[in-house]
Amino acid sequence: MLLAQMAAHAADNDNDLNGTSMLSRPLPGRLASTLALTLCVAAPLYAAPDAASTAAPTASSTASALPPIERFFINPVLAGAKLSPSARYLAAVSSAPGRRDILVVIDLQANSAKPVAGYKDADILDFEWVNDGRLLFNVTDRQVAPGGAYMAAGLYAVDKDGANLRQLANRRGNAIESTGTLIASKVLPWHTFMMDERGAQDSAFVYVQSVEYEEDSYEIRTVNLLKLNTLTGATQSVQRPARVTGWMLDHKGEPRLASGSDKGMTTIWYRDPATGAWRVLSTFDTYKGGKDAFEPLGFGSDGTLYAVAHGGKDTTSVFTVDTATGKLGAEPLVVTPGYDFSGSLVSSGDKLLGIRLRTDAVTTVWLDAPMQAVQQKLDEALPGTINLMSFPSGNHAEWALVRSYSDKTPPFYHLYNVRTGKLNLVGQAYPGIDPARMGRQDAVRYKARDGMEIPALLTLPANGAKNAPLVVLVHGGPYVHGNHWGWDPETQFLASRGYAVLEPDFRGSTGYGDKHFRAGWKQWGLKMQDDIADGARWAVAQGYADPKRICIAGASYGGYATLMGLVNDPDLYKCGVSWVGVTDINLLYDGHWSFTSDMTAQWKQYGMPDLIGDQVKDAAQLKATSPIQQAARIKAPLLLAYGGVDRRVPMFHGRKFLDAVKPNNTQVEWLEYQDEGHGWSLPANRVDFWGRVEKFLDRNIGSGAK
């Protein structure tokens, strides 16, 4: 389960306490004011938001000014909420300007809300229900970037009414001030973390992970699993079969699978329910896969193990796994033609209700027949958006939380009564965004020069203008599924400024089958680069893009592709924006900063030589596709940005490239965010960066271009 953080909006005047501006329709009884109260529990601490930030998603707008940049790059005001196992309580993280994020609980039966945990110098990060009366949570500091005084997230538990607050694991760094009493005995070390899975939620116990790191390294040596009593702090270690880096709980919330990787090979172990003994289910190449490779998906209500595997086909599908032999079922259960399966099981407690999957967009295949009818009613009530239900572990027959979104509408959340069909709006992720002013996004396909079909997302400005200036936005990874249909702050910010945005899933991207993935091996700066350029030319041929106003942009690998695009296709791209970008493949192997890199030794030894290139065998190719080595060929305007504490692509990449490109290019702009890592964590830095990108694009391909 995802442990997303939820932050609710708030107001500081009595007129907002009735909650009418937060709700899509009248609510029975006092529930409307209860939800509003949750959003207002810290009212005296901050100013009231403007009307646009509290209104439900709208379908039209009369404002003529551009949407303010800050509305795109705030931290999401609301990114999730969680029902207790019985569905009587709703927990959420309440956020508002001028104060720290706090944890609140709504009693849906008593129509009351209460803040249960908060700190003067930290923000609530993630939380999960331990049982119907107790929660587990951790904290962060949203006011500093990673380069600030780093502290681990810690671990805490508290009752639904704020009683029995207990610290369970330390934060590394200074202690934090609690609004309640802190019991310091039996506190676990800082490297103890919450699991992504919620467990059984029927006792005071949870499972947590204790990570051991290699000496003088950021690499994980092994991950231990602990059964933790959230009332006493006492723990029991779960015996592990070997060095383990991943665990999975079964349908009853008990440890059932473990996985680890050594010398480029991954092993999955199964724990026998009767004896507790571990045995090997499967062993396969970590990076290349193989016939015995599978990715565990989860367990059904009868203990059936579901997994994602190729099963001899080009794309992956959902199979059952025989836990006695480790063999896949003869036929797949869920197939997504043309796509690798990507998704999750939808459960309530130990009952498997459906399977959520993504092709061009996300949908749910319901295995529980009544839920299909519920979904249909929900979609009728919320037309024009994808509506995804999640359920409490002990009561799916009455309540669900619904996350809704579209290409033009940021996520918003409802409490949904499955029996009555009533919807209560909990809040919005980006409350200042007007969907009517966002661009339409479509999944498209185009042919690369060698005939390979390339999937992409195309977002056009709200006016749908033809021959618009185009930004080719290249995803990082690169061996990931880059395209995600739905509202994205970066994409929609660019569209709001009048740019068309093309996001290609070039060869090497995952999600479209093994052939598409393997076609990108050792193709950095070569065919992968051609796919990106062919997409820009396709957009021109279709009349979407002005051939004289095209810019390439991206982060990490996308930053590398930006630089190589300016090398390979100087007549196509008029400018480039590269942030936290790789500037030389050899530096990924053996740069002088490698002792601080978060790239593992296994990846460098067993993954990179095959997927990216061998330093010895492919030395000539790595030189020809090195932006540093080819820097003298880059003449176009270029914006570069790096984080001072980036361990994935350290600033040395950028500085070395800057030294190489500046003698031949006077149009290079350089940005440093000293406390940032591999991307921008602070909203102020995101606003600053994208504000500079806006001005850069305007000068070179926008209204200010000559």
Q: pLDDT tens across 586-644, in order?
A: 988 876 444 345 567 777 876 888 889 988 999 999 999 999 999 999 999 999 999 99
Residue with tokens 């009564």: 417
Beta partners for residue 442, in sequence order: 458
Helix H segments across 254-313?
A: none
| Antiparallel, parallel or unpaired: β 545-555 and 468-474 | parallel
103 shares its domain with 144 = yes
Note the pLDDT of residue 598.
58
Assign 149 a pLDDT band (cuts: 50, 70, 90).
low
Tell me which of 429, 448, 479 is where a domain ends.
429
Q: Is residue 355 part of a domain?
A: no
**Residues 196/126, Cβ–Cβ less than 8 Å:** no
Q: Is residue 214 part of a domain?
A: no
Q: Is residue 602 part of a domain?
A: yes
Q: How far is CA 673 from the centre of its chain?
A: 22
267 shares its domain with 306 = yes
Beta partners for residue 266, in sequence order: 261, 284
Q: Which CA distances in Å does 237 have to 90, 193, 229, 245, 276?
A: 31, 14, 12, 15, 13
Backbone angles phi, psi at 20, to 5 degrees: -65, -30
Between CA 573 and CA 579, with CA 576 as vertex, the angle to 5 degrees is: 155
**Residues 38/107, Cβ–Cβ less than 8 Å:** no
Residue 288 half-sphere exposure, CB side, CA atoms within 13 Å? Answer: 15
**Number of independent structural domains in the chain:** 3
Q: Residue 215: which residues within 8 A CB-CB, separation 6 or more?
A: none
324 shares its domain with 461 = no
Q: How does pLDDT run across 510-555, given as a tens digit for each residue?
A: 999 999 999 999 999 999 999 999 999 999 999 999 999 999 999 9
Residue with tokens 């965010």: 673
Q: How does pLDDT run across 79-97, given as a tens digit for each residue?
A: 778 999 999 999 998 877 7
Note the pLDDT of residue 262.
87
Whole-angstrom distance, CA of residue 570 vs CA of residue 187: 58
Q: How does pLDDT run across 27-78, given as a tens digit for each residue?
A: 233 333 334 333 333 322 222 223 333 334 443 443 468 999 999 999 888 7
498 shares its domain with 638 = yes
526 shares its domain with 656 = yes
394 shares its domain with 462 = no
CATH number of the domain that residue 615 is part of = 3.40.50.1820
Whole-angstrom distance, CA of residue 360 vs CA of residue 272: 38
630 shares its domain with 564 = yes
336 shares its domain with 485 = no
Q: Positive or negative CA dihedral for 133, 139, 143, 145?
A: negative
**Residues 546/566, Cβ–Cβ less than 8 Å:** no
Backbone angles phi, psi at 257, to 5 degrees: -125, 150
- CA dihedral (297, 302, 303, 304) in degrees, to 10, reads -50
The edge-to-edge listing of strands for the beta sheet with 278-285 is 246-249, 255-262, 265-271, 278-285
Q: Is residue 506 part of a domain?
A: yes
Q: How far is CA 25 from the centre of its chain?
A: 31
**Residues 470/420, Cβ–Cβ less than 8 Å:** no
Q: Which CA distances in Å does 556 have to 552, 575, 618, 641?
A: 13, 17, 22, 11
Range of the domain at 594: 439-700
Residue among 157, 165, 167 nearest 128 (CA): 157
Whole-angstrom distance, CA of residue 540 vs CA of residue 546: 6
User: Residue 115 in 3-state DSSP?
Assistant: strand
Tokens of 194: 């919450």
408 shares its domain with 289 = no
Q: Residue 466: which residues within 8 A CB-CB, separation 6 or more?
A: 543, 544
Lowest mean pLDDT among 176-190, 290-304, 326-340, 667-681: 176-190
182 shares its domain with 283 = no
Give the containing element (helix H, strand E) for 610.
helix 608-611
Whole-angstrom distance, CA of residue 646 vs CA of residue 654: 11
Tokens of 267: 């092993």
**Mean local confidence (pLDDT), 102-114:** 90
Q: Residues in the chain, how many?
A: 706
User: Residue 377 in 3-state DSSP?
Assistant: helix
Q: How does pLDDT run across 177-202, given as a tens digit for each residue?
A: 544 444 445 799 999 999 988 888 99
User: Residue 320 in 3-state DSSP?
Assistant: strand
Tell me which of 396, 429, 462 is where a domain ends.
429
**DSSP of 186-231, one letter per residue?**
TPBPTTEEE-SS----SSSEEEEEEEEE-TTSS-EEEEEEEEEETT
Prediction pTM value: 0.86
Whole-angstrom distance, CA of residue 211 vs CA of residue 191: 6
Give the containing element (helix H, strand E) for 92.
strand 89-94
508 shares its domain with 649 = yes
* Buried-state track 437-476, b at ≥16 Cβ within 10 A, e below 16: bbbebeebebebeeebebbbbbbbbbeeeeebbbbbbbbb
**Residues 700/637, Cβ–Cβ less than 8 Å:** yes
312 shares its domain with 392 = no
User: Residue 631 in 3-state DSSP?
Assistant: helix
What percent of the chain shows pLDDT beyond 70? 87
